[in-house]
Amino acid sequence: MGLKTMKTVINVERLTKDYNGLTAVDHISFEVEEGKIFGFLGPNGAGKTTTVRILTGLIKPTSGRVSIMGFNLRSEPIKAKQIIGVVPELSNAYNELSAWNNLQFMADLYGVPKNHAKNRAKELLNKFNLYDRKDHKVKTFSKGMKQKLIFAMSLMNDPEILFLDEPTSGLDVISARLIKDMVLELNKEGKTIFLTTHYMEEANQLCSRVAIINHGKIAAIDAPEKLKMRIAGLKWVEVSFDMPVDASDLLDLSGVIDVRMSGDKLRLYTNEPGRTIYQLVDYSRSNNLEIVMLNTLAPTLEDVFIKLIEEKG
């Protein structure tokens, strides 16, 4: 039995965008495979939004090539846009229109037949728990409801690829969970998701592959677990005592590279976590301290992100 060949649905080649001499995106290249959730991460001003705007056809690149399911975005923008759905970072449903009319307007823009559009709108409003408010103007909606509606609007054309720009930003836990569940459900249905997020844990939970962009360049691109392995040599032990201690005392323990405060806990960076734990127990005994909490931690995606951003300046 041979390996299943994955089809590339987003192909980005040497993409560059200059703004008055400032290079926001600098010759980046990557591919997104069909049916995957691809995370696009980066600090503010790294070129993340510019890249997403180019990929969704909002702005034109200075140079480079983008193809969406084989359609060149420069020469066939309408065909490429027809098969994607977009959830922009900022809310932009029409406030003066009802939820229903917003969905029908989307259907009209994407050429969805009337009957199908009505059924689809009903289905999506039910899925996002908005059906009871379908005739209410969007200006009466909460932020969470608006975001759910925008998500529903992006699905009216049943897109093959969904671009989500910070979809859970500023949402309450329940709305954010609903959106995340929806992303996973859509992915199960075979849709490709291009996710931009500031939340590392969200990217870790959802994405099968992530790219980290910094200063307009791709700093790393891989599966989250593989990225974590890059700094797997370094681990840390988190400890909390019943009384405050001097962090510099702990720096003297052998194998400890760095000590940082993390709330009421101390985080000891070490390449020998087992040895560090023994030493912490000895330290607590000799100083008559009680260990309240002791934990060993492996690197998270956030640690990888911070390390990469710090390394590349």
Partner 1 sequence: MIDQLKRACAIAKKDIRIYYMKGPVVIFGILFPVFLFLAFVIGRDLTVDFLIAGLLSMTIFFTSMSITPVIAPTETQTRNLERLAAAPVSITAILLGDMLASVLFGVGISLVPIMVGMAIGVTVEHPFILAAGIVLAAFCFSAMGLIFSSTPTSMTSTVMMISTMVKFPLVFISGIFIPVGELPQWGQMLALVSPLTYITDLCRYSFQGTNYYSILVDATALMIFFVIFMTVAIKLHGRSLPKRL
Question: What is the binding site for partner 1 (CB under 8 A)?
Answer: 53, 56-60, 77-79, 81-82, 84, 86, 88, 90-97, 101, 105-106, 108-111, 153
Is the CB of 62 or the CB of 300 nearer to partner 1? 62
Which residues on adjacent β-strands are paired with residue 270?
235, 256
AA letter at 68: I
Phi, psi for residue 128 in degrees, rounded to 5 = -95, 15
Nearest residue (CB) to partner 1, 95 versus 262 = 95
- To partner 1, the closest distance from the beta carbon of 68 in angstroms equals 11
Least distance in angstroms from the C-beta of 203 to partner 1: 22
**What is the rounded distance in angstroms from the CA atom of residue 195 to the CA atom of residue 9?**
14
When the beta carbons of 102 and 214 are compared against partner 1, the nearer one is: 102
Residue 52 beta carbon to partner 1: minimum distance, rounded to whole angstroms:
10
Nearer to partner 1, 97 or 245 (CB): 97
- Beta carbon nearer to partner 1, 91 or 240: 91
Direct distance between the N- and C-terminal alpha carbons of the chain, in angstroms, rounded to an integer: 46
State in angstroms the smallest separation of the CB of 107 from partner 1: 9
Q: How many beta carbons lie within 10 A of that of residue 277, not counting itself?
A: 18
Cα distances from 86 to residues 143, 238, 281, in angstroms, run 18, 41, 53
In sequence order, the β-bridge partners of residue 297 are 236
Residue 185 CB, nearest distance to partner 1 (Å)?
A: 22
Q: How far is the CB of 83 from partner 1 (least distance, A)?
A: 9
Contacts for 73 with CB less than 8 Å, ≥ 6 apart: 54, 55, 57, 66, 67, 80
Phi, psi of 292 (to 5 degrees): -85, -40
How does DSSP classify residue 137?
Answer: B
- 3-state secondary structure at position 147: helix
We find the least distance from the C-beta atom of residue 3 to partner 1, in angstroms, to be: 35
Q: Is the separation of the CB atoms in 61 and 52 below 8 Å? A: no
Instruction: Judge whether 236 and 204 are in contact, CB under 8 Å.
Output: no
Q: Which is nearer to partner 1, 97 or 289 (CB)?
A: 97
Q: From the CB of 53, what's the least distance to partner 1, in Å?
A: 7
Q: Which is nearer to partner 1, 59 or 231 (CB)?
A: 59
Query: CB neighbours of 84 closer than 8 A, spacing ≥ 6?
Result: 56, 68, 159, 160, 161, 162, 163
Report the residue number, 8 or 101, with the smaller CB distance to partner 1: 101
- Please enumerate in sequence order all residues whose Cβ is within 8 A of that of 207, keeping only pairs 6 or more positions apart, or say none: 37, 38, 39, 195, 224
Q: What are phi and psi of 66, to 5 degrees?
A: -125, 130
